[in-house]
């Protein structure tokens, strides 16, 4: 059991490293709802896409934006508890595959909430500026 867990963890980390290569991203779509907006229920990434105050698409800056996410710092979480999304980042590879990440006020998360990392005020400010 322990061996299979380590195997799955290793595969997950290796796949996130290959996905995290910033130079393969051809397009980035950013959907944003202001960080301070209060809601009655937690927003999902899909709901943020539907209700976004702003949506921007980047092509030339896609690799730089992807690198600024520091995807290599995402760590597996035990609970996979979804966060209250405010920012959705869809990265599109050179093959057209879409990989989604989202951020709450406190964490950047993989689409399935299985991996997360804390974010700070600089991250929040940068993506607020990018989305306008």
pLDDT averages per 10-residue partition of the chain, 132 residues: 45 45 82 95 97 96 96 95 97 96 98 97 97 88
What pTM does this model have?
A: 0.82
Residue 132: DSSP 8-state? -
Give the model's pLDDT for residue 23: 57
Give the model's pLDDT for residue 6: 41
Give the model's pLDDT for residue 95: 93
Distance CA 51, CA 90 (A): 16
Surface-to-core class of residue 15, CB atoms within 10 Å of its CB (0-12 exposed, 13-18 middle, 19+ buried) = exposed
Tokens 């995402």, residue located: 74
Do the beta carbons of residue 93 and residue 25 sit within 8 Å? Answer: yes
Query: In this structure, what token pair is assigned to residue 28?
Result: 């980035």
Give the model's pLDDT for residue 5: 43
């Amino acid at each position: 059991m322990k061996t299979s867990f380590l195997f799955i963890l290793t595969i997950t980390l290796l796949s996130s490293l290959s996905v995290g290569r910033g130079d393969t991203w051809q397009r980035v779509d950013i959907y944003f709802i202001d960080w301070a907006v209060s809601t009655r229920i937690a927003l999902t990434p899909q709901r943020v896409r539907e209700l976004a105050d702003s949506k921007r698409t980047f092509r030339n800056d896609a690799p730089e934006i992807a690198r600024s996410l520091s995807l290599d710092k995402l760590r597996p979480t035990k609970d996979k508890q979804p966060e209250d999304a405010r920012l959705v980042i869809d990265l599109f590879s050179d093959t057209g595959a879409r990989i989604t990440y989202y951020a709450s006020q406190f964490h950047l998360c993989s689409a399935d909430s299985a991996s997360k990392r804390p974010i700070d005020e600089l991250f929040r400010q940068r993506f607020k500026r990018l989305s306008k």
